Amino acid sequence: MRNKNFIIIMTVIVSALCLYYLSFSFVARSVQKDAEAYATDAQGNVDHAKQQSYLDSVWREPVYNFLGAEYTYQEVKENELGLGLDLRGGMHVVLEVSPVEIVKSLAGNSKDPNFLKALARAQEMQRNSQERFPNLFAEAYREIEPDGRLSRIFSNTVTRGKISYESSNAEVVDVINQEVEEAIERSFNILRTRVDKFGVNQPNIQRLGRSGRIQIELPGVDNPDRVRKLLQGMANLEFWEVWTPEEVSPYFTQLSDHLNKEEKAGRLNIRSSSAQAAPTTAGTTPSAVQDAAADDVLAQAAATSNDTAAAANDTTALASADQAKADSADALQALQEEQMGVMGRLFTMMPGGIGANVRDTAKINEIFNRPDVRAIFPPNMKFLWGVKPLQGENRQEFVEFYSVKKGRDGKAPMTGDAVNDARQDFDQNGRPEINMTMTPTGAKRWANLTGNNVGRQVAIVLDNYVYSAPVVQGEITGGNSSITGNFTIEEAKDLANILKAGKMPAPTRIVEEAIVGPSLGQEAINQGLISTVAGLVLVILFMIAYYARGGFIADLALLFNVFFILGVLAQFGAALTLPGIAGIVLTLGMAVDANVLIFERMREEAAKGLSIRDVINKGYEKAFSSILDANVTTFLVGFILYFFGSGPVKGFAITLMIGIVTSFFTSVFISRILVERSFKRSGKLSFSTSIADRMFRNVKFDVMKIRKPAYAFSLSVIVLGFVAMFINGGPNLGVDFKGGRSYVVEFDQAIPAPDLRSALLDDFESAGTEVKTFGASNRVKITTSWLAEDESTQADGRVMDALMQGLDQYGNQNPEILSSSKVGATMADDIQKTALLAVLLSLAGIFIYVMLRFSKWQFSLGGVIALLHDALMIIAVFSILELMGISYEIDQVFVAAILTIIGFSINDTVVIFDRVREYINDNPNKHIRDLVNPALISTFSRTMITSLTLLVVVVVLFIFGGEVLRGFSLAMIIGVLAGSYSSLFIATPIVIDTMKKKETPVASAKMA
């Protein structure tokens, strides 16, 4: 074997990396066990609040030392192999930023009838198009008013400086597209900050391509209503006056005395986390201090740098806060000295004022919300935290505490609607800055606010968090300002986005939602582990029983494969989901295929009388091309699944792709090293048993003779299936594809599904409602299309109220909603399109690859028709089962099963095609019809072993994998049977039937 040492080195490196990344999961589990032991009383009851308190206390403490590198519990959690929401419970949300409202805002809420008609028409067009909304709007406007000028509508104060009356329609559309993209990015940044502040471990937020949708996953949340309000609320940008330290100091002194008395009386017990030193200017990076400590400076927007020119341009600067800090340093120091006792333990000095350890913020909030504490401070004093923590010593984080001044009505003196525009730019010295312009009304408010606060700070606040608090040096008139400082470009862009957040509404709406309760998640973990272990054990036993020592070596490679899959998942930061576990189980079955190919080749070569050394070399050499082709085609399917899938499908695709790569490496390279080492030690190698010698011996069949009956049988089943689908009223589409809401409800005892459906129909206004048993007999899944077109929060509430009202009559059975999901109508349309596109692209990609590899389009055609056959057979059998009362939904996971079967089936078909090609090359003068049967018979044992192994695995998944994967595993069972059948009796016969005689190699005698 060439490059043997390289393979060994790579195996060691990859194993070490996998062990390193998986070690974080073991450490995290160990810490969680310690927390549980700490919170467990003598009776065995766990105090979850105490357990969480323990975990919070070690959150930023070192808990893991790896070769001298220390990792805090937070870093350990960030690097561990995460679990998806279906395994640990939580909430999955897909939000859509409405481009319609953005376009309306840019148009100044124009009432132009043609403008409104074009908007409505564009919304209709978007349902059947992936094109950007502004482009659809422009197309619709052209249809309604062919000679109309968009600048007539969009040239206003909102778009001043970007769109003029002379702008062409193309220029207007470009501006709209840019503004929509920026609005989506702003919404994403705002939501990311809100999610970070929500207090959830390992939240996940990401943009979904260019769709304007944002996916958020929040593990362990127990208040979905709060999440919905948090995510759908409009951004609240405000500008507040800030109290000076001198003004605040007397009140803090009174509070200190008050709390110290309480502590002495035993009514208060405060332990601070602020034992470590707070960050100082010298101890932190300049950019970090600039941002959170209000070191930002507002310089002139004009190009000139002297004061006279600045005044002439009607702009005044808010300059550096350094002098103001120096002036107040004595007061801050005095305040720090006065704050002995409770206040001294809670607060600490920071570069821009006072602050506290991040861990103490909850305690401080609790104290400052008390009525007796509020009475100490003036009614117009409000307290806010800075948004960005600063790093102190020993990984401690501190955040600034601001005292802002309320207006007469208790509101901020200026809000975000005063900002016309803000963008990142560069000053004369090439440093990043933010240019900000106000609306005409906003410019007057800005002049008053800055004029009244010369020498004081003005806080820029978004969603009640202070993003920056610069010091005013002079009144700013004209509404033009620049914010400069020691920014990076990214920091400048972020602040510009914050300032624009209040300028233009970009409302979000939830178009997809899923909530999984923790008990259901734990159940999924148990089912996933059982199915994985059971599948692995069965495969291991079969391989040893069939291939003896060779099977044992294949099993070692299989264990390496599972280890590598989990390690790579951990390295990529991917979460393990229930479909991901299905992908691992499936990979176990498919990984066997490479070893089966190799061992079957070795058995063939051994039958020729070759030496064991030559048998090993020939076996791996001749199997390599088949293994490569099979893995490439399956990987292609996985890639398309990942690119077009979402949620569970994407998790499955990630695991499948990783599994294909690792199984190729372990089966082809690691197994060969093990085989050669075993042979070198013992001088012999057994890769056959009496079972293997007896099975599939003397198999004889003529594919070409039975091809027509096979065609007729397949066509009959498919036609019968579609007739059954027509009788059923169409395919049984899940919520993914038709929109609606579904709930999994558990009762104390079994409830007849028809009775529950009847009880719910009146409340759901007789809309399409389905109730069926889901897993356990006392658990049901309720799906309704009522108000599916309405994606608002109000509609969610109406459906939930109706559900609870229908469940009221079963109140004595204690109904509990374990999980819920919602898919909006527009989202469902998009999922349908992407699912269909994924299938078509998979077929097209496979067609091209097979044609390139086999140099004849007939092979591609035969392969693709066989794949279509397999997909249609699965759909047909599902429809027939539906007619028989056995109902399974067609959803995204079902599509994943079809695409997986496409990958499996083309895997099998390519192996057969490869053997046919080999027979043609070895026998150039024989007719291809005479070569087909020997080629198929020679691969028959491999086809059967691979299919049986995978069939056993998916049957185990069907039995133990749980209700969530029941439809997936059933589709896989049907697909494995149909795929094996089509590879033998559909694909190859079609290749022969479509070849012209002149393309068919024949013996010279026959040619004559």
What pLDDT does 974 receive?
Answer: 92
Look up the CATH number of the domain holding residue 810.
3.30.70.3400
Strand 465-468 with 381-386, pairing: parallel
Q: Where does the pLDDT of residue 308 fall: very low under 50, low under 70, confident under 90, or very high at 90 and above? A: very low
Asked if pLDDT for residue 445 goes beyond 60, the answer is yes
Look up the CATH number of the domain holding residue 843.
1.20.1640.10
From 515, 822, 831, select the one nearest 645 (Cα to Cα): 831
Q: What is the DSSP string of 215-277?
A: EEEEET---HHHHHHHHHSPP-EEEEEE--HHHHHHHHHHHHHHHHHHHHTTS-----STTSP
Print the domain residue range for 125: 99-186
**What is the DSSP code (8-state) at residue 279?**
P
Please state the rounded mean pLDDT for residues 956-969: 79
Residues of the chain with pLDDT > 90: what percent?
8
Least confident residue range of 15-19, 114-118, 261-265, 832-836: 832-836
Q: State phi, psi for 279 to the nearest 5 degrees.
A: -65, 145
With b meaning 16 or more CB within 10 Å and e meaning fewer, what string describes 995-1006?
beeeeebbeeee
Together in a domain, 162 and 65: no
Together in a domain, 398 and 272: yes
* Cβ partners under 8 Å of residue 420, min gap 6: 157, 158, 160, 437, 438, 439, 442, 479, 503
What pLDDT does 352 receive?
Answer: 67
Please state the rounded mean pLDDT for residues 442-470: 86
Together in a domain, 30 and 128: no
Contact 592, 558 (CB under 8 A): yes
Asked if pLDDT for residue 925 goes beyond 80, the answer is no
What pLDDT does 901 receive?
Answer: 82
Residue 592 identity (one-letter amino acid): V
Together in a domain, 819 and 835: no
From 466, 457, 414, 467, select the one nearest 438 (Cα to Cα): 414
Is 774 part of a structural domain of the chain? yes
Is 366 part of a structural domain of the chain? yes
Contact 96, 232 (CB under 8 A): no
Is 210 part of a structural domain of the chain? no
Together in a domain, 580 and 612: yes
Please state the rounded mean pLDDT for residues 720-729: 89
Please state the rounded mean pLDDT for residues 106-133: 84
Compute the distance between CA of residue 207 and CA of residue 230 in angstroms, rounded to an integer.
Answer: 18
Contact 524, 86 (CB under 8 A): yes
What pLDDT does 383 receive?
Answer: 93
Compute the distance between CA of residue 211 and CA of residue 512 in angstroms, rounded to an integer.
Answer: 14
Together in a domain, 723 and 778: no
Strand 82-83 with 575-576, pairing: parallel
From 394, 412, 393, select the one nearest 402 (Cα to Cα): 412
Name the domain count of the chain.
5
Whole-prediction pTM: 0.67
Q: Where does the pLDDT of residue 68 fall: very low under 50, low under 70, confident under 90, or very high at 90 and above? A: confident
Burial bucket for residue 245 (CB in 10 Å: 0-12, 13-18, 19+): buried
Asked if pLDDT for residue 715 goes beyond 90, the answer is yes
From 89, 312, 307, select the one nearest 218 (Cα to Cα): 89
- Give the residue with greater pLDDT, 115 vs 641: 115
What pLDDT does 465 receive?
Answer: 86
With b meaning 16 or more CB within 10 Å and e meaning fewer, what string describes 900-922?
bbbbbbbbbbbbbbbbbbbbbee
From 189, 173, 170, 86, select the one nearest 133 (Cα to Cα): 173
What pLDDT does 322 receive?
Answer: 43
Query: What angle separates helix 4-38 from helix 671-682, to the nearest 10 degrees?
Result: 110
Burial bucket for residue 440 (CB in 10 Å: 0-12, 13-18, 19+): exposed
Winning range, highest mean pLDDT, from 198-207, 387-396, 637-646: 637-646
Please state the rounded mean pLDDT for residues 100-105: 84
Compute the distance between CA of residue 85 and CA of residue 517 in angstroms, rounded to an integer.
Answer: 9
* Cβ partners under 8 Å of residue 190, min gap 6: 235, 462, 463, 501
| Domain C-terminal end among 24, 46, 80 | 80
Is 673 part of a structural domain of the chain? yes
What pLDDT does 825 receive?
Answer: 66
Q: Where does the pLDDT of residue 719 fall: very low under 50, low under 70, confident under 90, or very high at 90 and above? A: very high
Together in a domain, 328 and 433: yes
What pLDDT does 311 receive?
Answer: 30
Please state the rounded mean pLDDT for residues 272-278: 55
What pLDDT does 521 receive?
Answer: 63
Compute the distance between CA of residue 928 and CA of residue 919 in angstroms, rounded to an integer.
Answer: 9
What pLDDT does 312 receive?
Answer: 29
Asked if pLDDT for residue 292 goes beyond 50, the answer is no
DSSP H helices in 431-517: 440-451, 489-500
Cα Dmax for the chain = 115
Indicate the helix (H) or strand (E) that contains 774.
Answer: strand 769-774
Query: What angle separates helix 578-607 from helix 940-960, to the nearest 10 degrees?
Result: 160
| Domain C-terminal end among 823, 853, 875 | 823
Burial bucket for residue 815 (CB in 10 Å: 0-12, 13-18, 19+): buried
Compute the distance between CA of residue 827 and CA of residue 542 in angstroms, rounded to an integer.
Answer: 44
DSSP H helices in 299-374: 307-312, 322-338, 342-346, 361-368, 371-374
- Mean pLDDT value across the chain: 78
Q: State phi, psi for 461 to the nearest 5 degrees.
A: -120, 130
- Give the residue with greater pLDDT, 274 vs 165: 165
Burial bucket for residue 191 (CB in 10 Å: 0-12, 13-18, 19+): buried
Task: Record the tokens describing residue 395, joined without a space.
Answer: 């990984």
Strand 397-405 with 390-391, pairing: antiparallel
Query: What angle separates helix 578-607 from helix 966-982, to the nearest 10 degrees?
Result: 30
Please give the C-alpha separations between residue 271 and each of 53, 342, 882, in angstroms, as whole numbers.
Answer: 13, 8, 63
Q: Where does the pLDDT of residue 281 fall: very low under 50, low under 70, confident under 90, or very high at 90 and above? A: very low
Asked if pLDDT for residue 917 goes beyond 50, the answer is yes
What pLDDT does 429 receive?
Answer: 80
What pLDDT does 215 receive?
Answer: 83
Q: Where does the pLDDT of residue 294 fall: very low under 50, low under 70, confident under 90, or very high at 90 and above? A: very low
Is 197 part of a structural domain of the chain? no
Contact 547, 846 (CB under 8 A): no
Q: Where does the pLDDT of residue 581 fall: very low under 50, low under 70, confident under 90, or very high at 90 and above? A: confident
Q: Where does the pLDDT of residue 1006 fall: very low under 50, low under 70, confident under 90, or very high at 90 and above? A: very low
Winning range, highest mean pLDDT, from 57-71, 431-445, 858-872: 858-872
Q: For the chain, count helices (H), then strands (E).
A: 37, 25
Together in a domain, 307 and 389: yes
Please state the rounded mean pLDDT for residues 469-493: 78
Number of Cβ within a 10 Å radius of residue 809: 11
| Domain C-terminal end among 785, 802, 823 | 823
Please state the rounded mean pLDDT for residues 457-486: 81
Together in a domain, 713 and 752: no
Compute the distance between CA of residue 417 and CA of residue 505 in angstroms, rounded to an integer.
Answer: 9
Compute the distance between CA of residue 870 and CA of residue 603 in angstroms, rounded to an integer.
Answer: 31
Compute the distance between CA of residue 553 and CA of residue 543 in angstroms, rounded to an integer.
Answer: 9
Asked if pLDDT for residue 898 goes beyond 60, the answer is yes
Asked if pLDDT for residue 295 goes beyond 50, the answer is no
Region of 577 on the Ramachandran plot (φ > 0 left; ψ -120 to 50 alpha; else beta): beta
Does residue 994 sit in helix, strand or coil?
A: helix
Please state the rounded mean pLDDT for residues 768-775: 77
Compute the distance between CA of residue 88 and CA of residue 812 in angstroms, rounded to an integer.
Answer: 29
Residue that is written with structure tokens 């079809």 in the block:
898
Please give the C-alpha separations between residue 337 and each of 243, 249, 253, 341, 347, in angstroms, as whole numbers.
Answer: 20, 11, 10, 10, 11
Please state the rounded mean pLDDT for residues 67-75: 83
Please state the rounded mean pLDDT for residues 186-192: 79
Together in a domain, 713 and 749: no
Please state the rounded mean pLDDT for residues 573-586: 75
Together in a domain, 809 and 893: no
From 802, 784, 782, select the one nearest 794 (Cα to Cα): 802
Contact 986, 866 (CB under 8 A): yes
Q: What distance, in Å, lies between the first and last C-alpha atoms of the chain? A: 47
Asked if pLDDT for residue 304 goes beyond 60, the answer is no
Compute the distance between CA of residue 655 and CA of residue 583 in angstroms, rounded to an integer.
Answer: 6
What pLDDT does 222 receive?
Answer: 64
- Give the residue with greater pLDDT, 690 vs 449: 449
Together in a domain, 293 and 312: yes
Strand 432-438 with 82-83, pairing: unpaired
Is 211 part of a structural domain of the chain? no
Contact 440, 157 (CB under 8 A): yes
Is 639 part of a structural domain of the chain? yes
What pLDDT does 404 receive?
Answer: 93
From 1003, 842, 824, select the one nearest 929 (Cα to Cα): 1003
Beta bridge partners of 246: none
Q: Where does the pLDDT of residue 403 fall: very low under 50, low under 70, confident under 90, or very high at 90 and above? A: very high
Asked if pLDDT for residue 250 goes beyond 70, the answer is yes
DSSP H helices in 748-792: 753-761
Is 138 part of a structural domain of the chain? yes
Does residue 610 sit in helix, strand or coil?
A: coil
